[in-house]
């Protein structure tokens, strides 16, 4: 209720400061829709005129004049429609800027001007849609009362579903804003046509031209109505930002700065009765009553780990770990899922129990140990060499390798192209450093040749920043494989790794990958240094460039 009151205050603020722009946008929207209606209706008249059966209203014209007149009117109406849409955007920019100037706030979030224009247009179009809905209903009551009754029946049916969804979660999938905006007006248009056909013998219908006008008007109204649901949803999710930008006395808060999280509806309540999580488990097909839940966010809030303890039939309990991705991280989730679906028993990760993917949500599901613990930063540093060795032992299928390389050039082809040579030169402190850089540059062909023939390994950038768990048996599990890379063996290890440590890792990993037995440790060390140099260049951090270049040169022939 408080949010609804604030939205009313937003409209009062718009009327107070931008009444002219708001009124002009409403008129332009209605004019745009009216001209679009004309451009959709008159082609029917044009077809009859071309057939030589001009309606009575055009019979005062002779010869081909009806065709010419109707064609020009259709063209003019469509041009007016396009001009109105362009003018709406320009007036919206002016109105949003006028509102910002009136409030004169400073220290607003980054990109606040674009957001103000976006929300201003949404609020103005919502007002226009409301007026259009009222206008169409009045038209139907005046011209075609039975169709007005049909529209009322259709809209009340959706309203009933919304009420049921409020109390019963199984109905919520039917009234999600995205589904309604996609299917609601299509089903409504079919309903209108069916209603006209079924009721035509029993009611006094208007002339055919009025039936066509009413049908197209209903179609436009339904499009605006169900599209408005998405607009309302967007405003509701971003209400803190809207209130900050449009209300003069609203102060900035953390919620106003942050982007809304699409996963929030599932994880916002981690206590009984676990309404959002229950809806999530139903969607994922996980059975049992939730007894305990915990959650933490990653990917700036666009992904989450959720641990669930559920009680199933017969007083048995099961624990699951879910990793959820929202739609904005779809490619990241797909990248991780395709790898983990190929995981072998010796990989440092538990076996996947199931996966789920739809347009708005991706989920990886593991069977979890209730006593499993997440490692601290110091514990992750201690087990990092072991984890890197186990990653070195991981191999992927040829098909996945080909799919990866279709989107990512191999390191031997990209490192010298993407390395910021100018920045390396600027980091060279003396003539000796510049001479080393020149020698290194001359050897880029030799380096690429040595990298090309190396076997590959899985690399997880920023390994110590990922979630690592310890099972009750003491086994370490890597629970974040997002943005994995397929690089030459040795890549991804710390640049200060000693040859002895690398040799030991290659020997242990060769138990699972025989091709590592023939790998020269110096080649692996070269891959380690080149990868470190390249990744630092991509991150715009070349402070260690001269040190890394010196190490690379020590692994290359002097001549």
CATH number at residue 321: 3.30.200.20
Q: What is the mean pLDDT of residues 495-512?
A: 93
In this prediction the pTM is 0.63
Q: Could you give the dihedral angle defined by the CA atoms of residues 489, 494, 496 and 497, in that order, rounded to the nearest 10 degrees?
A: -50
User: 1-5, 359-363, 545-549 — which one is most confidently predicted on average?
Assistant: 545-549
Largest Cα–Cα separation, the chain: 99
Q: Are 422 and 469 contained in the same domain? A: yes
Least confident span in 10-14, 147-151, 339-343, 550-554: 10-14
Least confident span in 20-34, 333-347, 450-464: 20-34
pLDDT at 255 > cutoff 60: no
- Answer whether residue 67 is part of any domain: yes
Q: What is the mean pLDDT of residues 460-479?
A: 90
pLDDT at 88 > cutoff 60: yes
Strand order across the beta sheet in which 373-374 lies: 373-374, 468-470, 476-478
Q: Are 198 and 69 contained in the same domain? A: yes
Q: Are 13 and 84 contained in the same domain? A: yes
Q: Are 381 and 356 contained in the same domain? A: no
Q: Which helix (H) or strand (E) holds 502?
A: helix 499-509
Q: Are 92 and 189 contained in the same domain? A: yes
- Answer whether residue 273 is part of any domain: yes
Q: Are 444 and 505 contained in the same domain? A: yes
- Answer whether residue 185 is part of any domain: yes
Q: Are 109 and 132 contained in the same domain? A: yes
Q: Are 17 and 50 contained in the same domain? A: yes
C-alpha 150: how far from chain center: 37
Structural domains in the chain (count): 3
Q: Are 442 and 514 contained in the same domain? A: yes
347-394 tens-digit pLDDT: 999 888 888 887 778 888 888 887 888 999 999 999 999 999 999 999
Q: Are 397 and 415 contained in the same domain? A: yes
Instruction: Name the residue among 363, 222, 226, 238 with its Cα closest to residue 304.
Output: 363
Domain boundary among 315, 333, 367: 367
Query: Distance of CA 174 to CAs 249, 287, 528, Å?
Result: 39, 21, 53
We report the CATH number of the domain holding residue 532 as: 3.90.1200
Percent of the chain with pLDDT over 70: 83
Mean pLDDT taken over the chain: 82
Rounded to whole angstroms, the Cα distance separating 457 from 506 reads: 11
We report the CATH number of the domain holding residue 110 as: 1.20.1560
Q: Is 116 exposed, middle or buried (0-12, 13-18, 19+ CB in 10 A)?
A: buried
Please report the pLDDT score of residue 177 as a whole number: 56
Instruction: Name the residue among 380, 345, 390 with its Cα closest to residue 508.
Output: 390
- Answer whether residue 559 is part of any domain: no
Residue 258 confidence class, pLDDT cut points 50, 70, 90: very low
Question: Looking at per-residue confidence, does 128 or 67 come out higher?
Answer: 128
Domain boundary among 194, 221, 256: 256
User: 88-102, 187-201, 349-363, 452-466 — which one is most confidently predicted on average?
Assistant: 452-466
Q: What is the mean pLDDT of residues 198-214?
A: 83
Asked whether 26 and 127 are in contact (CB, 8 A), the reply is yes
Preceding amide of 68 cis, omega within 30: no
Domain boundary among 211, 227, 256: 256
Residue 516: give the domain boundaries.
Answer: 373-554
- Answer whether residue 225 is part of any domain: yes
Q: Are 316 and 388 contained in the same domain? A: no
Q: Are 358 and 425 contained in the same domain? A: no
Percent of the chain with pLDDT over 90: 27
């Amino acid at each position: 209720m408080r949010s609804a009151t604030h939205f009313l205050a937003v409209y009062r603020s718009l009327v107070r400061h931008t009444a002219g722009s708001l009124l002009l946008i409403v008129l332009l929207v209605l004019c745009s829709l009216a001209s679009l209606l004309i451009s959709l209706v008159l082609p029917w008249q044009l077809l009859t005129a071309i057939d030589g059966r001009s309606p009575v209203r055009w019979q005062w014209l002779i010869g081909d004049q009806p065709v010419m007149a109707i064609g020009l009117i259709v063209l003019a109406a469509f041009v007016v429609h396009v001009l109105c849409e362009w003018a709406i955007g320009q007036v919206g920019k002016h109105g949003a800027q006028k509102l910002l100037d009136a409030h004169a706030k400073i220290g607003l979030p980054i990109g606040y001007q674009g957001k103000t224009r976006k929300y201003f247009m949404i609020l103005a179009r919502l007002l226009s849609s409301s007026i259009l809905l009222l206008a169409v209903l009045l038209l139907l009551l005046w011209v075609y009362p039975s169709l007005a009754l049909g529209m009322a029946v259709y809209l009340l049916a959706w309203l009933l579903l919304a009420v049921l969804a409020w109390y019963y979660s199984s109905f919520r999938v039917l009234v999600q804003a995205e589904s309604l905006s996609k299917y609601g007006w299509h089903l409504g248009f079919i309903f209108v046509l069916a209603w006209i056909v079924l009721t035509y013998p029993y009611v006094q219908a208007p002339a055919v031209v009025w039936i066509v006008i009413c049908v197209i008007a209903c179609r436009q109204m339904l499009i605006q109505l169900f599209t408005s649901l998405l607009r309302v949803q967007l405003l509701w999710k971003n209400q803190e930002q809207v209130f900050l930008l449009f209300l003069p006395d609203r102060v900035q808060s953390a919620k106003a700065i942050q982007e809304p999280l699409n996963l929030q509806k599932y994880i916002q309540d981690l206590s009984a009765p676990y309404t959002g999580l229950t809806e999530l488990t139903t969607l994922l097909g996980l059975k049992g009553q939730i007894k305990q839940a915990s959650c933490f966010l990653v990917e700036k809030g666009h992904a989450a780990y959720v641990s669930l303890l559920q009680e199933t039939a017969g007083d048995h309990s099961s624990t699951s770990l879910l990793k959820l991705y929202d739609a904005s991280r779809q490619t990241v989730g797909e990248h991780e899922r395709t790898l983990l679906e190929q995981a072998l028993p010796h990989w440092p990760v538990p076996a996947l129990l199931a996966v789920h993917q739809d347009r708005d949500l991706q989920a990886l599901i593991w069977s979890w140990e209730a006593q499993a613990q997440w490692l601290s930063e110091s514990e992750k540093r201690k087990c990092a060499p072991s984890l890197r060795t186990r990653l070195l032992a991981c191999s992927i299928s040829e098909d996945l390798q080909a799919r990866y390389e279709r989107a990512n050039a191999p390191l031997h082809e990209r490192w010298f192209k993407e390395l910021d040579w100018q920045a390396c030169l600027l980091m060279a402190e003396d003539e000796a450093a510049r001479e080393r850089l020149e020698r290194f540059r001359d050897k880029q062909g030799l380096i690429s040749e040595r990298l090309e023939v190396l076997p590959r390994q899985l690399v997880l950038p920023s390994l110590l920043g990922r979630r690592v768990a310890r099972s009750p048996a003491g086994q370490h599990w890597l629970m974040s494989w997002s943005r994995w890379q397929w690089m030459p063996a040795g890549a991804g290890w710390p640049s200060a790794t000693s040859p002895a440590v690398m040799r030991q890792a290659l020997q242990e990993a060769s138990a699972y990958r025989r091709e590592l037995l023939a790998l020269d440790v110096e080649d692996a060390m070269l891959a380690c240094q080149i990868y470190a140099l390249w990744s630092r260049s991509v991150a715009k951090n070349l402070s260690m460039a001269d040190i890394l270049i010196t190490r690379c040169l020590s692994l290359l022939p002097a001549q």
